[in-house]
Chain A
Amino acid sequence: MAIATLGYDDLPALLTRLTGDEKHDVSAVSTLDVLWVLHDRVLGPDDRFLLSKGHGPAAFYAVLAAKGLIPVDALDGFGSFNSMLGYHPDRTLVPAAGIGSGSLGHGLAIAVGAALAGRRVYCLVGDAELDEGSNWEAVQYAGRIGLERLAVVVVDNRSSTYGWPDGIHARFALEGWSAARCDGRDHDAIEQAFAASDGDRPHVVVAEVATKR
């Protein structure tokens, strides 16, 4: 099995291996740039990344393959019976996945627990995933206790049916988080938004990408 370290420009080819679609439009994968910047520039060797929004994990698998965290060859069997890569990740099959996800609203609470244990944790959620009330239990608690080891990135493609009037960042800020917004396709902006944490409370990055609908 080939283990490779590839670059951002290799991701379209990796995605094609997952989907079999030669015309795959990278820009349609809402999480791709955030995932890339996280794994290429932000995450340290002792940090933990939890993908809470396990839906549509092709971009995640492509990034893991590019970074040598899963074999590139594994992409070819995506979703097949003996594949390690399913339509939602399973951490016991893919340790680099951090957690198994698919049911929305679980990753943030687990991230809080891991941060309480002393780990620096990054968690990716979607804007529609925030419909799930379990997220807000975690957001409220982490904000109140100033859980500075926790960072959340919300990939906001405006897919929540009822939306978030006044913006997602404002809701996290109300709960005591530091909050930054950025263009979810601009790598430098994403990196800067993570760096904008004031260091003594949890930090959220709202990465805005093109509207899903």
Chain B
Amino acid sequence: MSMRERFYALAGDALDEDVRVAVVSAEIGVGEIGPHPRHFNVGIREQLMIGVAAGLALEGMRPVAHSYTPFVVERPYEQVKLDLGHQDLGAVLVSTGASYDASTAGRTHQAPEDVAVMAALPGWTIHVPGHPDELGRLFRRALRSDDRVYVRMSQEENVARVDGDGIVVLRRGGEGAALVLAVGPALSETLLATADLDVAVAYTATPRPFDADGLRAVAGSDVVLVEPYLAGTSAGEVAAALVDRPTRIFSIGVPLGEFRHYGTPAEHRAAHGLDARGIRASLERFLRT
């Protein structure tokens, strides 16, 4: 079961089990979640979707809003900023599509900058699960709080789930070895790329709030970020966490630019240097310098 299928099942269960939960849709996922008195499909009206979520939260409910990544983050960005953030109201925003899942759909349905722009707003917890099991754990936790939580689902997923919160160390390197920190579904390719390298590998599915203490516990003088979205999205967080140490930071991710190609997600991953081969090549260049 994909992350998206898991989310729809969980959202339906949550509607049945918790009277505080309401789901606000804008046509995406409506059939999969199914009808329910607290499932409100507002039509293709994403600004309204976020505003309605805020109004539900104003009355003490726990709204979940869902659409493709550009349409839950970017099109209603001011509603996210003001109707939720400025009003100090909580909601769970769940996107599907990630950076380039919709590779054949073109730029309109791709949003590699989503985490960067969400991270520019105060008070948001951002989850980037790398496996459907992680999605389930993080989504259920988000429902129990009143926080502002953004959950970024992806068609790409890792071979196995990772348990634990914050930064989880998966492999330790030798003395002075670089730390490679993979985010969400970038992990499996990162593990392949580093299998025979003397580096430490760590993982997080929650880039915000950034686990600065966790990073400090494992980082050496070289830190490499492998992010499945805009390259360098968390570079500032890494720099701030290690401000008292001489550190080199290198970011691998989706480059900034208009990428005018269709094709498959795998082709996009490779073109952005986010497959194992690309990650390996970037790492070797960095470690040589």
Contacts and interface: CB of A to CB of B under 8 A. Distances in A.
A113 B86 contact: no
A209 B287 CA distance: 71
A64 to B, nearest CB: 18
Interface stretch (B39-47, B100-108, B218-226): B39-47
Interface in A12-67: 48
Contacts of B43: 137, 140-141
Interface stretch (A73-81, A116-124, A159-167, A192-200): A116-124
B61 to A, nearest CB: 5
A100 B48 contact: no
A128 interface: no
Given A100-B87, A137-B42, A113 B47 contact: no
Interface residues of A, number: 28
Nearest to A118: B59
Nearest to A141: B42
A114 B48 contact: no
A213 B15 CA distance: 51
> What is the interface residue range for chain B against chain A?
20 to 34
Interface string A101-123: 00101101111111111110100
A110 B63 CA distance: 12
B55 A117 contact: yes
Contact of A116 (B40, B47, B60, B83): B40
Interface in B36-69: 40, 42-43, 45, 47-48, 50-61, 63
Contact of A110 (B22, B42, B83): B83
B55 A106 contact: no
A111 B52 CA distance: 7
B53 A113 contact: yes
Interface string A133-160: 1100110110000000000000000000
Interface in B8-50: 22, 24, 40, 42-43, 45, 47-48, 50
B54 A137 contact: no
A99 B53 contact: no
Interface of A: 48, 90-92, 99-100, 103, 105-106, 108-119, 121, 133-134, 137-138, 140-141
- 9 nearest interchain CB pairs? A113-B55, A109-B51, A117-B59, A113-B52, A137-B45, A137-B48, A114-B55, A110-B55, A134-B47
